[in-house]
Amino acid sequence: MSLSPPKWALRFLRWYCREDYIEEFEGDLLEFFERNCARSPAKAKGQFAWDVIKTCRPRNWKKIKSFSLSNTPDMFRYALLLALRHFKRYKGSFLINLSGLAAGLTCVMLIFMWVRDEWQMDKFHERDAQLYRLISDSHSNETLLNTSSLVADQLAEELPEIEQMVHSSWGALESSLSTEQENFAVIGEFATPDFFEFFSYPLLRGKPEDVLKRPKTIALSETTARKLFRSIDILGKSLRWQWYSHQEEVEITGVYADVPACSSMQFDYVLSFDIFRDYFRERIERGNYNTRTYLTLKKGTDPEELNRKMASLMQEQYPEGNWRPFVIPYSSYYLHNEYQDGQAVGGRITYVRLFSIIALLILAIAGINFMNLSTARASRRLKEIGIKKVVGAGRRSLILQYLTESALMSGLAGLVAVAMALVLMPYFNQLTGKSLSLALDVNLWIALVVIVLITGLMAGSYPAFYLSSFRPAMVIKGKLSTTFGEHWLRRGLVVFQFGISLVLMAAVLVVHQQMRFLQNKDLGYARDQIVTFSTNGLRQEKQQELLTRLQEVPGVLSASSITHALVGGQASNADIQWPGKDPEQEIWFEHGYVNYGMLEMLDIGLLSGRYFSRERGEETNKLIINETALGIMALEDPVGQIVKIGDTDYEIIGVTRDFHFQSLHETVRPTYFRLNDRWALKTAAKIAAGEEQATLARMEDLYRSFDPGFPFHYSFLNDDYQQQYVSEKRVAMLSRYFAGLAILISCLGLLGLSAYTAERRIKEISIRKVMGATSGSIIWLLSRDFTRMVLLAIAIALPLGFWLTEYWLNTFAYRIEWQWWIFALAAATLLLITWLTVGYQTVKVARVNPVERLKGE
């Protein structure tokens, strides 16, 4: 058996070699190949390939056909005219393609603006590349945003990589600012003197290095300054700052431009840090984690290496410590706000990636539709293509024509998409909580134009090369051959479309079921008819008087107070010692201060013991723990046991059932309550059903009588609970829209492919009808292939959908279990939609008179 040279090498030779050289070169190379085979058959093929490569020199290349630039405008004008004529002639295909591409581009446009807005958060600071945030991770993988300023300052002293460090309070504080004429409720931060040098919040009055240098000084936002003084030329003036029972006369040393919406920190004022330090000196000196720390690193510093140094330093100086500080880029925290072992493991970035992928998939589905519909309608253009080729049209000119059609279609779809985006923008902003707009942003419009062009070229490339590849003799006869690869490519694209649609449908159902579970989950406390509000500006004795008077208001069933917001509020953490505990074991408990009657009003059930009671006398040295705390302590008879917090002994008087003040993304934490009306600053009242508005009006009147000039900001506990899942609700709503859009576009593609199949098999169907086939059998014949494709899509999408929904559900500590009927329902719905879509074309073809189709044969 004689050896043959490598086929790829021969094809390569014939592709590049000049026509007047090819016969001579190929003959010589084949002759050398035969000689080499006689000597060493094993090396002959390799030598032949090497000889082909050696002859690939510029002088042996085919000449590039000349291309006259002077003809280019005429060619494009002609191609554009033909495209418009084609659109006008085939209005149905044109409208289907246009609507599919426009819907896909609208989806991409809206999501692109949302994703871009998310990525820009906190990126406006001039020193963004150097800005870092110091946060802490516990041995139990719990992340704490706050740090100990004592520990942070020590790190800054011992680690030369840290260039600058700034501290602020644990978050924006609800407080009030007042002058002799005005009084406003505002939110603000405490910060160390370098705050305005560190962050890029432009000062309109004052210098960054001077603003917060002196004690009891304040910088106001432009809006706040104009509210209080009707001007921003107010340096040196004073005002009264008040936070609950704390108040100070402070001097204005700066006015800054309003904080932009793309900042994760929002504040109306910045107060000098010395006030915060004086109020919480004891806690700061104990090393409590009650401040937030930001820092810049020297250029060339490796953050990972710095984290290792900090971990080593903390291990040396605090071997029994529970918290391990580490740095993360400041602007990355907004998207990457979930950490384990110092590594980002989730956060908002999950939804950014999710919707980016969904947008691309929907655009891909729309592009696939264009490809399928263009090739499906190819039989209508066979004679046009054949005649053009016969009279001398080259493949390049045909490709140009069809790419022009595609680009024009994409451009028109882009214009429609812009119009649709403008109409949908208010609803999209309401849904996402953004303020997006199609403003004159050059980068945004350039990106949109590029997306439209790439979509048009990619979607039109296959039809262009496909249509231009037909041989003239075959297409004039009307014979359109389809290769095995083309046959399966179209079907594979449909499988892809419906697989994505099925995953989205299943995801919608899973999200809906999980949201229902969250709504109906027993939280361990009663949240209906509970109203909460802050008593800003009231001294302690006034707060107690307000509570007493509040319970006398008609419609108020009970009233009490707690240290933090009931739902999602940040409780303090403390270590606790109990009998039998390992002294080296450090377990942090959440704790809150409550007033009398708070736990009873929330209907938090007791497992054993009792609530705090005025009849028992002084109870500030008593504790009530929850069920999770009892499980950790493993105390057989907890009531009456003495535990130690710091240097103080406390007696456990009760154990409550577990309750969920935090989101159900998190497990119940060990928690204890202490009685302390001084720090129970969040007031709560249970009001009677049916007369809410009247009761709230009476409560507001009472509040204003205690706190004139301060707005009465209240919220219902049930609404606060729902607010924790606003991201999930947005995901659920957007998923419903996107799933519906994906199914709609996929059906358009299926409609196109069924039309293509019907056109190709019309003569076969006519013969079958002449031979006695019924319309029902014809319908089944044409529907069978599409049913198989959808079943294949279901088989592929099932494991993918299961994996994606499980991944999302696992972000919740409390979740539904996977249920088979969800995917069964999605699959059945998809099959039904498929049969209805294909049924239109199949019934239409099955009713065709076979005589009309066969009389020309």
Encode pLDDT of 39-71 as tens digits: 777 788 888 888 888 888 877 887 655 444 445
Residues forming beta bridges with residue 655, ordered by sequence position = 608, 625
| Rounded Cα gap, residues 172 and 837, in angstroms | 55
| Rounded Cα gap, residues 718 and 716, in angstroms | 5
CB atoms near residue 743 (< 10 Å): 22
pLDDT tens-place string over residues 306-333: 988 888 888 787 766 667 788 889 998 8
Look at residue 536 in the predicted model and tell me its pLDDT.
66
Look at residue 562 in the predicted model and tell me its pLDDT.
86
| Rounded Cα gap, residues 384 and 404, in angstroms | 17
Tell me the one-letter amino acid at 277.
Answer: R
Asked whether the predicted pLDDT for residue 211 surpasses 90, the reply is yes
Look at residue 67 in the predicted model and tell me its pLDDT.
43
Domain locations in the chain?
7-60, 72-121+348-481, 128-334, 483-522+722-857, 537-709
**Contacting residues for 463 by C-beta, under 8 A, at least 6 apart:** 370, 371, 374, 375, 378, 402, 406
> For residue 589, what pLDDT band results from cuts at 50, 70 and 90?
confident
- CA pseudo-torsion sign 654, 659, 660, 661: negative
As a whole number, mean pLDDT of residues 402-410 equals 80
Look at residue 474 in the predicted model and tell me its pLDDT.
58
As a whole number, mean pLDDT of residues 570-582 equals 73
| Rounded Cα gap, residues 689 and 691, in angstroms | 6
| Rounded Cα gap, residues 700 and 550, in angstroms | 10
Look at residue 546 in the predicted model and tell me its pLDDT.
87
- Residue of 33, 11, 32 whose CA lies nearest to 22: 11
Look at residue 218 in the predicted model and tell me its pLDDT.
95
Lowest mean pLDDT among 42-51, 61-70, 559-568, 662-671: 61-70
> What DSSP string describes 505-540?
HHHHHHHHHHHHHHHH---SS--TTEEEEE-TT--H
Return the DSSP state at 682: E
Q: State phi, psi for 264 to the nearest 5 degrees.
A: -75, -20
| Rounded Cα gap, residues 189 and 813, in angstroms | 33
Cβ pair 248, 215 in contact under 8 A: no
- The pLDDT mean for the chain works out to 81
Tokens of 82: 């033909």
As a whole number, mean pLDDT of residues 840-845 equals 71
Q: How far is CA 815 from CA 20, 48, 663, 719, 818, in A?
A: 74, 65, 12, 21, 9
> For residue 192, what pLDDT band results from cuts at 50, 70 and 90?
very high
> For residue 232, what pLDDT band results from cuts at 50, 70 and 90?
very high
Tokens of 705: 């009588």
| Rounded Cα gap, residues 747 and 726, in angstroms | 32
Angle between helices 762-770 and 820-846 (to 10 degrees): 70
Asked whether the predicted pLDDT for residue 470 surpasses 50, the reply is yes
Cβ pair 468, 395 in contact under 8 A: yes
> For residue 660, what pLDDT band results from cuts at 50, 70 and 90?
confident
Rank 33-47, 450-464, 610-624 by mean pLDDT and report only the highest.
610-624
Q: How many residues does the structure list for the chain? A: 857
**Contacting residues for 226 by C-beta, under 8 A, at least 6 apart:** 232
Q: State phi, psi for 633 to the nearest 5 degrees.
A: -70, -30
| Rounded Cα gap, residues 563 and 707, in angstroms | 19
Helix, strand, or coil here: 789?
helix
- Tell which wins on pLDDT, 271 or 285: 271
Question: 244 — alpha (psi -120 to 50), left (phi > 0) or beta?
Answer: left
> For residue 361, what pLDDT band results from cuts at 50, 70 and 90?
confident
Rank 69-83, 140-154, 260-274 by mean pLDDT and report only the highest.
260-274
Look at residue 231 in the predicted model and tell me its pLDDT.
92
Q: State phi, psi for 567 to the nearest 5 degrees.
A: -110, 120
Cα-to-chain-centroid distance, residue 692 = 37
As a whole number, mean pLDDT of residues 583-597 equals 81
pLDDT tens-place string over residues 275-291: 988 888 777 776 677 78
As a whole number, mean pLDDT of residues 461-474 equals 67
Q: For tokens 């099925």, what's the residue?
A: 502
- Residue of 596, 589, 518 whose CA lies nearest to 559: 596
Tokens of 13: 């030779």
Proportion of the chain above pLDDT 90, given as a percent? 19
- Residue of 423, 432, 416 whose CA lies nearest to 355: 432
| Rounded Cα gap, residues 37 and 40, in angstroms | 5
pLDDT tens-place string over residues 629-646: 999 888 888 998 999 887
pLDDT tens-place string over residues 413-450: 889 999 998 899 888 888 888 888 877 667 778 878 88
pLDDT tens-place string over residues 748-793: 777 767 776 776 677 777 777 777 777 777 777 777 888 888 899 8
As a whole number, mean pLDDT of residues 704-730 equals 80
Look at residue 440 in the predicted model and tell me its pLDDT.
62
As a whole number, mean pLDDT of residues 716-728 equals 83
Helix (H) or strand (E) holding 270: strand 269-272
Kind of pairing, strands 183-191 and 323-329? unpaired
Tell me the one-letter amino acid at 498.
Answer: F
**E strand spans, 596-675:** 606-609, 622-626, 642-645, 648-656, 671-675
Tokens of 731: 């995901």
Proportion of the chain above pLDDT 70, given as a percent? 85
As a whole number, mean pLDDT of residues 699-711 equals 79
> For residue 484, what pLDDT band results from cuts at 50, 70 and 90?
very low
Helix, strand, or coil here: 294?
strand
- Tell which wins on pLDDT, 283 or 175: 175
- Residue of 174, 702, 742, 697 whose CA lies nearest to 507: 742
Look at residue 38 in the predicted model and tell me its pLDDT.
79
- Tell which wins on pLDDT, 383 or 499: 499
| Rounded Cα gap, residues 214 and 258, in angstroms | 23
Rank 223-232, 613-622, 636-645, 654-663 by mean pLDDT and report only the highest.
223-232
| Rounded Cα gap, residues 752 and 765, in angstroms | 18
Helix, strand, or coil here: 349?
helix
Look at residue 479 in the predicted model and tell me its pLDDT.
55
Q: How far is CA 308 from CA 132, 134, 303, 450, 725, in A?
A: 16, 14, 9, 43, 36
As a whole number, mean pLDDT of residues 813-826 equals 85
Q: State phi, psi for 705 to the nearest 5 degrees.
A: -70, -25
